[in-house]
Amino acid sequence: MSNNRVAVMKTYKLLIGGEFVRSESGRSYEVQDADGAFIANVAQGSRKDVRDAVVAARAAQPRWQNATAYNRGQVLYRLAEMAESRRDELVHQVKAAEGLSTPDAESTVSASIDLIIYYAGWTDKVAQVLGGSNPVAGPFFNFSVPTPTGVIGVLAPTSSSLLGFVQTVLPPLCSGNAVVVMASEERPIPGLLLGEMSATADFPGGVLNIISGQLGEVAPTLASHEDVDGLDLTGASIEQAGEWARSAADSIKRVFVPRSGDESLSSLRRLRAFIETATVWHTIGQ
Amino acid sequence: MKSKVGDHAQSVDNVVTLVTSPGPRIDSEAHLVATLKALPGVDAVGVEARVAKLATRSIKTSAKKEALDLALSMVDLTTLEGADTFQKVRSLCTKAMLPDPRDASVPSVAAVCVYPDLVALAKDVVKGSSVKVASVATAFPSGRASMKVKLADVEEAVSAGADEIDMVIDRGAFLSGQLGRVYEEIVAVKEACGTAHLKVILETGELVTYDNVRKASWLAMLAGADFIKTSTGKVSVSATRPVALVMLEAVRDFADVYGQKIGVKVAGGIRTSKDAIRYLVLVNETAGSAWLSPDLFRFGASSLLNDLLMQRQKLASGVYVRSDEFSVD
């Protein structure tokens, strides 16, 4: 192989409805590593891309919700398998994006993959832990059944490009929600890579949609979109979070804002954030 | 005859030499066949290129608002299912009159389109409003019945109060070259319609070629159609924009020859506002702005209405709307 081979540069694309698409606006932007060196061009999503992603998520959500918890667990586990087999690529990109040492990047990727497996295990335990049967004064069973909220908009953390992405995206997916996630504006590549892996992990198209681009431009559309049922504001600044929580309130969305200070990766807060509780009555038969 | 570019001028000139107006337009089957045969072939590549080109027009803000309202006023809100119930037709008619109950500025749609046995009910509900009742007839959707049965079908719909009749042509006869038979059927149905407007469904998805679409369009217009309509919505290929372009050219040319404006209805598969607006661009650029009216252009659709309402609200509020904001029919 000679050195004068033409470089093959990858442009990262959006993931909408199970397809990797350029932005409908035709725009892209340059992503730099922690030292300011060029890494790659990334599609710059627009408001219309968000709209398309929400349409895709809405269409895909019932099937994901109605899949058995066991099956959802298998799909999430498969995502971990895909990530494991491409871990060198992930390590390379996390290292570039966050400016970490190789061992730190290695351990971040390991933690991310472990977290995916953690949530893969949760899929068939959500109903047992967060649901229950309630004592009632009558000849009835009364169950509290956790059900997914629906379509969730997620603003992934800006600094933690992979672990933060997994931490915000997996909990709503685990319980049967469809997700439209804004990847970190400055460090989108690890999240987009995970999206590529999801395409070979048997996710129904549209369950996980990833938009990269300018947070300030695109997030307001996600926050105000009436067909989005929940909003995770992890990636927003305090001012942005306040503003977008207000526009989310117009359509009565569930809004999740992380608590200040450290948050344990295994906290149930995120899992619980996008779950509704349905109460079911059933007569006690003989 | 003013001269126009391309095959348009040629088609008009050819037809002019064959039809004699005033007086009967067609006096024999031979005359009809000769007239239709004189129509030039359609440049399929040209039609598709023109449609693709016009689809790139960007219609935004105030123009979009106007287009959405215009499209709303052109909708023939349709339910043609075996499972139609009185209740469903009743709710459809209510929606036709007041598409968005929270916003009185939304225009009512042009018509509701139902099967003949539901005409009387629909007529009763829309009484006093501007909404017309259209009924499919002549053994819709296949058209496979005897002439007697087809006419009885029409008469029943008309006597129940239908303002518009959507008939299907006998595609089998058309494709096997029995043009006179197709012509006579339309003439007979037109007579049975009385004052009701006649829309002739060509079922372009079964006509195979653009040439046939052009031919069938002229045949229907010569036989007395008030509207020509693309499809029943019951076969896999419904309205497409290239087909609509061919039909719009036909009504434009017909108006040049006879001074009579025939309407076009596109039906089947039109579900989004974007689609609808692209059709409106085609209408404006092909037939002309005179056709931008519910009297001369219609959308046969059901789910399109909700999308138009959603886009309208999005334009007003700037916020994307939930699809379940509007009743699903």
The answer to whether the beta carbons of residues A43 and A13 sit under 8 Å apart is yes
Cα–Cα dist A156/A164, whole Å = 7
Look at residue B260 and tell me if it is in a domain.
yes
Q: With an 8 Å Cβ cutoff, is A149 touching chain B?
A: no
CA distance B320 to chain A (A): 5
User: What mean pLDDT comes out for the span B15-33?
Assistant: 68
Residue B227 confidence class, pLDDT cut points 50, 70, 90? very high
Classify residue A42 as exposed, middle or buried by CB count within 10 Å of its CB (0-12, 13-18, 19+). Answer: buried
Note whether A251 contacts B318, CB cutoff 8 Å: no
- Identify the sign of the CA torsion B314, B317, B321, B326: negative
Mutation test of the interface with chain A: which of B58, B322, B326, choosing the one with the most A Cβ atoms within 10 A? B322
Average pLDDT over residues B174-201: 95
For the range B59-68, what are the long-range contacts, defined as Cβ-Cβ under 8 Å and sequence gap of 24 or more? B59/B277, B59/B281, B61/B315, B64/B277, B64/B311, B64/B315, B65/B312, B65/B315, B67/B276, B67/B277, B67/B280, B68/B273, B68/B277, B68/B308, B68/B311, B68/B312, B68/B315
Closest CA to A215 of A153, A152, A155: A155
Neighbours of A81 (CB within 10 A): 17
Residue A108 CA, chain-centre distance (Å), reads: 17
Does B270 map to a domain? yes
Asked if residue B186 is part of any domain, the answer here is yes
pLDDT average, residue stretch B3-11: 48
Nearest CA of chain B to the CA of A250: how many Å? Answer: 10
* ipTM score assigned to the predicted complex: 0.80
Q: Which residues pair with A147 in a beta bridge?
A: A276
Preceding amide of A103 cis, omega within 30: no
State whether residue A250 sits within 8 Å of chain B by CB. Answer: yes
The pair of three-digit structure tokens given for residue B304, joined into one six-digit string: 């399109």
- Per the structure, the complete domain to which residue B40 belongs is given by 6-316
Q: Where are the beta strands (DSSP E) in A79-172?
A: 132-133, 140-148, 151-155
In tens, the pLDDT along B149-168 reads: 999 999 999 999 999 999 99
Taking only the tens place, the pLDDT of each residue in A18-30 is 999 999 999 999 9
Q: Using CA atoms, how far apart are residues A267 and A158, in angstroms rounded to an integer?
A: 20
Q: Are B300 and B267 in contact (CB under 8 A)?
A: yes
B22 contacts chain A (CB < 8 A):
no
| Interchain contact, A226 vs B321, CB within 8 Å | yes
Chain B CB contacts of A51 below 8 Å: 320
Q: Residue range B259-274: average pLDDT?
A: 95
User: Is the CB of residue B319 less than 8 Å away from at least one CB of chain A?
Assistant: yes
Q: Which residues contact A63 (CB under 8 A, 6 or more apart)?
A: A204
Is B295 marked active-site? no
Beta-carbon contacts below 8 Å between A and B = 21
**Chain B residues lying within 8 Å of A251, measured CB to CB:** 319, 322
pLDDT at B178 over 80: yes
- Tens digit of each residue's pLDDT (9 = 90 or more) over A130-143: 999 999 999 999 99
Q: What is the C-alpha separation between A216 and A44, in angstroms, rounded?
A: 12
Active site residue B124: no
d(CA A115, CA A117): 5
Dihedral pair phi/psi, residue B223, rounded to 5°: -80, -5
B325–A226 CB contact, under 8 Å = yes
Sequence ranges of the domains in chain A: 19-283
* Residue B326 resides in a domain: no
Question: Where is pLDDT greater, at A209 or B323?
Answer: A209
The phi, psi pair for A198, rounded to 5°, reads: -65, -25
Q: Is B166 a catalytic residue?
A: yes
pLDDT band at A128 (very low <50, low <70, confident <90, very high): very high
Does residue B328 belong to any structural domain of this protein?
Answer: no
Phi/psi at B107 (nearest 5 deg)?
Answer: -70, 155
- β-bridge pairing A140-148 and A275-283: antiparallel
Q: Do B323 and A58 touch (CB under 8 A)?
A: yes
The span from the CA of A108 to the CA of A95, in Å, is 9
**What string of DSSP letters covers B14-60?**
HHHHH--SSS-S--SHHHHHHHHHTSPPP-HHHHHHHHHHHTT----
What is the domain count for chain B?
A: 1
Does some domain include residue B329?
no
Please tell me which residue of chain A has the smallest CA distance to B310: A226
The DSSP output letter for A179 is E
The sign of the CA dihedral B80, B329, B291, B296 is: positive
Please determine, for residue B14, whether its predicted confidence score (pLDDT) is greater than 70. Answer: no
Stretch A254-271: mean pLDDT: 84
Contacts of B321 in chain A (CB under 8 A): 226-227
pLDDT at site B26: 84
Residue B259 makes CB contacts below 8 A (sequence gap 6+) with: none
Chain A stretch 216-235, residues whose beta carbon is closer than 8 A to a beta carbon of chain B: 221, 224-227
Distance from CA of A138 to the nearest CA of B (A): 36
Task: Note whether B328 contacts A: Cβ–Cβ < 8 A.
Answer: no
Alpha-carbon distance of A255 to A172, in angstroms, equals 12
Assign domain A19-283 to its CATH architecture: 3-Layer(aba) Sandwich (3.40)
Of chain A, the percentage scoring pLDDT greater than 90 comes to 93
Is the CB of B316 inside 8 Å of chain A's CB atoms?
A: no
Measured between alpha carbons, how far is A229 from B307 in angstroms, rounded to an integer? 20
pTM here?
Answer: 0.87
